[in-house]
Amino acid sequence: MITHGKVETIGPALERLGGVARSAGVELIFPEEEREKHGMVADGGDATEADIAVVLGGDGTMLRALQRFLGTNVPVIGVNFGRVGFLASIAAGELEDGLARMFAGDFDVVELPTLDAETKAGRWTAVNDVVVRSASVGRMVELGWSVGDEDLGTRPSDGVICSTPVGSTAYNLSNGGPVLVWGLDAMALTFVAPHALDARPLVIPRDRPLTVVNRTPDVAVTVIVDGHQVCELDAHGEGVRVGLGPQRSHLATLPEVTFFRRYRRTFGA
């Protein structure tokens, strides 16, 4: 069980979930931070040995759970207690019916690619996106960029977004980037506020990693992985390499709640 950071957001949902689990003969495992959050004293067991992770929260909580269970093959299914809930396949009002179906095995698992970002400071894995942007608000930066072994010059902009198919409907979409349908093994590359008429988003396959170099004389560049700042690239040509990584996140979903149904529900008229 993984829940929203604000306990009051999910209200009585834990009690509702407990009733469904008891009826289905399912044991619930609560990681240590969840036990502390909800005032539980009993040992919760090893979350990495679970058959499935159930999230009560929004897309942020879903991303946190997908990141947590990378490398474990534990799929993550969500009940939406957030605002958008694109990654959750069960509405809050349908918790009982949806989870009863899931506990009975009526769900699919979608494997989704991740991104690896590497600098001289370290290496990180992103479920959603890697953003390279100006460390100074309102200051444009000069970013040298290359795809694979091909140098594509320098692009003045506020930054660049590299997103997985999961992340393509988030910050990438709001900046005019392409939506990547789940099942594609590719990443989207979108510049933020580019100062150029020919700056168009790209979809890049697995074997073409992106390298971004800070070529701005006096402004540092921040590297952000899944919303968390991990390092800065100084103004002396430091760079970051971003490409599709070996790990995959595992998203569980009710069979009828397809990508296109979510897409129309969230972004359609």
Annotated catalytic residue, options 43, 51, 59, 129: 59
Question: For 141, how many CA atoms within 13 A lie in the half-sphere containing its CB?
Answer: 29
| Annotation marks residue 207 as catalytic | no
Can you name the residues that pair with 240 across neighbouring β-strands?
A: 212
Backbone angles phi, psi at 260, to 5 degrees: -70, -30
In the numeric block, the tokens 């469904």 are attached to: 20
Tokens of 128: 């959603």
Sign of CA dihedral 207, 147, 238, 227: negative
Cα atoms in the Cβ-side hemisphere of radius 13 Å centred on 163: 29
Distance (Å) of CA 210 to CA 52, 145, 245: 34, 7, 12
| Pairing status of strand 53-57 against strand 2-3 | parallel
Active-site annotation, residues = 59
